[in-house]
Structure 1
Amino acid sequence: MQSTKRVALLVISCLTYSQFLLASEQSESKGFIEDSKWNAHARSLYFSRDFKSSHNTGQSKRMAWGLGLSTVFESGFTEGTVGFGLDAWGLQGIRLDGGRGHANAAMDVTPVGDSGRAAHDWSQLGGAVKARISNTTIKYGNQFVSLPILMTDSSRLLPESVTGTLITSKEIENLEINAGHFTAISGAHSTGHDNSGYPSAYYVGMKRLDFIGGTYQFTDNLATSLYYSWNKDIAKRAYGNINYTYPIDNQQSVNVDFNIYHSDYDKKYVRRTSEGDIDKSINNTIWSLAGKYSYDAHSFIVAYQQSMGGWYGHGYDYGSGYGTNDGGSSIWLANSYESDFNAKDEKSLQLSYELSGAGIGIPGLAFKSAYVYGWNADTAAYSGGKRGKERELFNQVSYTIQQGAAKDLAFKVRSSFYRATNRFSYGDNNELRVYVDYPLDLMALIKNNK
């Protein structure tokens, strides 16, 4: 009932302020079909983790290779004061390699049964209905969300999805407001809309996640965001961001990005994740500050991140299945790579370099290398009270074909060399991911062939 009231109040507020609009998205609607989009996407993903010590995983190597096929249709809105529309999508996963012995549900690539065998193929269908009045859109159904307190992960073979209601309002110039009420999450390797894809012994589904927040663009160079979420029986969470870019000249700029989360974990969640040893609510605050200097094609980044509070190896918890069921990418912090450097009381420092190929005459090419060192992590759950350290060397190179018959075909290789002390996390490992992505605009093909 409270979540329904929050949604109703937001809609009333947005429509009240519509008088400040310069233009209305709905008044410019061309129609259900005319504004529709239909895209297909094929992805090949090879994903492996080579563990240097299997004491925390029970495996010396985890590996999966698969093909993911997806198609997404997003209609326009019917004309009139209130426009109506429909979104629909389909996902198909095919395992190419990574059977018994190498498969593991924690890699989020293929469904894994109790026998330890990875599924050969799996599929899922989803859809949502939507309505728009002025510059406010309401959507209900199965959808993909990209917000700091609820972000479905798209880094695996197939994307996660959530089921519920999302309101997006742009009634005031430079201000975007988002509010949502969600009741189910589907993992990246799941076949159902209320199943994360993890073994039932560990998985506790989403009961209800409500949130409200938004982003205000003060200038072209300065923006801030604030969000608050209520995740039933798991946590209440607040998020804030300030992002500022100072242009020195046409070739140089400095960017400062500050992110912070504060989480109050419900004692039910703490009790479950501590196996009953702790029966009280616990909070955590984690923040990061990143400075980025860019000169032409080159960028240099320094970032500091700090986590305060937590329990038994838990600091900032997020994710699907074993986590807080708020999406596998709900961590908008600077030092998140293979490791998130988010343990209880952990501090971490990052040095990284980025290259844009367009600046050196190779458009479509991008490269990033980052080194992150974490210390002071409370690893009592693994090491008998000792403080843990971890470090990661991350490298990623990608290239997208710019023209010709294979235009938009993209290749990406990312690797991480991860090392940790005191039996921290899942131990030392080398990770490798190889992506081949091919997006296809089906609607454009249809229009061009008419």
Structure 2
Amino acid sequence: MRVMKWSMIALAVAAGTSQLAIASSQDESKGFLEDSKLNVKTRMLYFSRDFRNNDRDDEGNRQSRAEETGLGFVGTYESGFTQGTVGVGFDAVGMLGLKLDSGKGRAGTGLFPTALDGRSQDDYSKAGAAAKFRISDTVLKVGDQFTALPVFATDDSRLLPEIAQGGLITSNEIKGLTLHAGRFTSLTAQAETNRDSFRLKEADVLGGTYAITDSLSTSVYYSHVEDHFRKWYGNVNWALPISDKQGLVFDFNIYDTKSIGQNLTGAWVKKADGSNKLDNIAASLSAAYNIGAHTFTLAFQKVSGDGDYAYGVDGGGTVFLANSIARSDFNAEDEKSWQARYDLNFAEYGIPGLTFMTRYARGTDAKTRTTDNGSEWERDIDVKYVLQEGPAKDLSFRVRQATYRSADGVYYGSSSIDELRLIVEYPLSIL
């Protein structure tokens, strides 16, 4: 689950429009070692989940509380490209997760792998590497990699991120246009070291983002996940400046999903004819109004057709919908949901690096295994501060609190959850 995923599309557009037609990226290559980058991100995460009166975790086991603390390290090395017509490079990633606090009765936050006795492992690690090739402004990367495509996006909401294995082509040959084509054959979950955590057979992806103007962009993507589903995704993002300190941003996202092959995903609710095939459309529309330090956002989302909007085997972040927030995605069959959100940037008041966000979302008419007319709501608060200068520049402190309620057990049978995350991150650039 991520928040405001359309902003990644905007970043992709910005990357595309920054390309100059005069000289390609490969023409400006300085060399394999000369353009190398080595970064290490440290993340300490305290995760508390109180199941309140439900007393059950996500798997249905009785547990009144899950509470753990971990320390994670993610080191990434990105080489430059060799000079010449075809540039060759190499990327590598190494990750380590350490358990700082846990207990058998408090495990299950998703921060660590779980042993056979139900306890979280003391530590775990994973690593990967990828070869890359560049011609002009087109890059082919083969091996282990993080992805942020709307139809195949790795998740980074716990201690260590997911990592995918496969090949991906990214092309920026035309100004304002970014194209992607790829095939992925396995995916390593956040709290696992197994390279095939989701038993992914094969996922083919194709699509791109085009900046029609400086303020208007659109995206279209397609994916085919063998024996699960095929998806179409579309996005339109329109930024409308009103004045120097005022503006509107409209964002529309839509997924069309249908089961294919052996239908290993299936729908949450079987139909009267016994079918459990997915055949649905999930769409969201948001409107954000910014005035100075304040941003006010309203969003509406609807799932129609057979089954819920399904994802996971194609990456835990593959849900670029407005109401996919901290705890719930509001993505059940036939569910309608709306959201009201407020953001405050304290830089306008002389405290750069300090931000505040709160939102409320409510969903109705949800069909799940437990109800044909379920409702759910969630309230989130997020406060973050990033040091702007000094020896610890970019060190960040974040508090995320979520309150979730549903009288019908819409979300995995968990009707009442209070969630708290305390996150400290420090990105260190070595090269």
TM-score for both structures, normalised by structure 1: 0.87
Q: Which amino acid aligns with 2:337?
A: S
Structure 1 contact 64–110 (Cα < 8 Å) conserved: no
Q: For residue 389 of structure 1, what is the aligned residue in structure 2?
A: 375
Q: Deviations over 1:179-209 (max 9, x none)?
A: 1100000011111322x2xxxxxxx510000
1:155 CA displacement = 1.7
Tell me how far apart the structure 2 counterparts of residues 264 and 28 of structure 1 sit (CA, whole Å): 44
Q: Distance in 1 between matches of 2:195 and 2:103?
A: 25
User: Contact between 1:153 and 1:159, CA under 8 Å: does it hold in 2?
Assistant: yes
Residues 270 and 279 in structure 1, CA contact (< 8 A), matched pair in contact too: no
How far apart in 2 are the matches of 1:217 and 1:271?
Answer: 34
Does residue 239 of the first structure (1) align with residue 240 of the second (2)? no
> Counterparts of 1:226 and 1:108 in 2: how far apart (Å)?
32
How do 1:305-320 and structure 2 match up within 5 A? 305-311=301-307, 315-319=308-312
Match runs of 1:23-422 below 5 Å: 23-52=23-52, 53-55=54-56, 56-104=60-108, 107-194=109-196, 196=197, 204-266=198-260, 268-269=262-263, 278-279=274-275, 281-311=277-307, 315-319=308-312, 325-337=313-325, 338-379=327-368, 381-383=369-371, 386-422=372-408
Contact 1:26 1:83 survives alignment (8 Å) = yes
Task: Tell me which amino acid in the other structure corresponds to 1:153.
Answer: D
Moved more, 141-150 or 272-281: 272-281
Mapped to 2, the partners of 1:70 and 1:148 lie a distance apart of: 23
Distance 1:366 1:414 in 2: 12
Distance (Å, rounded) in 1 between the aligned partners of 2:182 and 2:72: 28
SS of equivalent to 1:102: coil
Query: Which amino acid in the other structure matches residue 288 of structure 1?
Result: S
2:49 and 2:177 map into 1 onto residues whose CA distance is 42
The 2-side partners of 1:54 and 1:273 are apart by 26
Distance (whole Å) between structure 1 residues aligned to residue 420 and residue 311 of structure 2 = 23
Q: What corresponds to 2:15 in structure 1? A: none
- Secondary structure at the counterpart of residue 306 of structure 2: coil
Q: Structure 2: how far apart are the matches of 1:63 and 1:317?
A: 27
Report which of the two has the higher share of helix: 1
| CA distance in 1: counterparts of 2:380 and 2:278, whole angstroms | 32
Distance of 1:362 and 1:371 partners within structure 2: 26
Task: Give secondary structure in 2 for the equivalent of 1:26.
Answer: coil
Distance 1:414-1:362 versus aligned 2 partners, 3 A rule:
same
Question: Which residue of the partner structure matches residue 446 of structure 1?
Answer: none
Q: Cα distance 1:432–1:177, how it changes in 2: closer, same or farther (>3 A)?
A: same
Q: Is the 8 A contact 1:271 1:279 kept in 2?
A: no
* Mapped partners of 1:335, 1:233: distance in 2: 27
Root-mean-square deviation (Å): 1.7
Structure 1 residue identity aligned to 2:286: A
Counterpart of 1:262, as a letter, is D
More RCO (CA 8 Å, sep 6+):
2
Aligned-partner Cα distance in 2 for 1:66–1:263:
36
Q: Is the 8 A contact 2:387 2:395 kept in 1?
A: yes
Instruction: Determine helix, strand or coil for the equivalent of 1:358.
Output: helix
Distance 1:388 1:157 in 2: 32
Note closer, same or farther for the CA distance 1:103–1:263 as it changes in structure 2 (3 Å cut): same
Asked if residue 438 in structure 1 is aligned to residue 431 in structure 2, the reply is: no
SS at match of 2:263: helix
Q: Distance in 2 between matches of 1:212 and 1:405?
A: 43
Paired residues, number = 403
What is the aligned partner in structure 2 of residue 448 from structure 1?
none
SS in 1 for 2:300: strand
- TM-score if structure 2 supplies the norm length? 0.90
Residues 91/270 of structure 1: CA separation in 2 closer, same or farther (3 Å cut): closer
Q: Say if 1:271 and 1:280, in contact at 8 Å, map to a contact too.
A: no
> Retained in 2: the 8 A contact 1:267–1:281?
no
Q: Matched residues in 1 for 2:246 and 2:48: separation?
A: 38
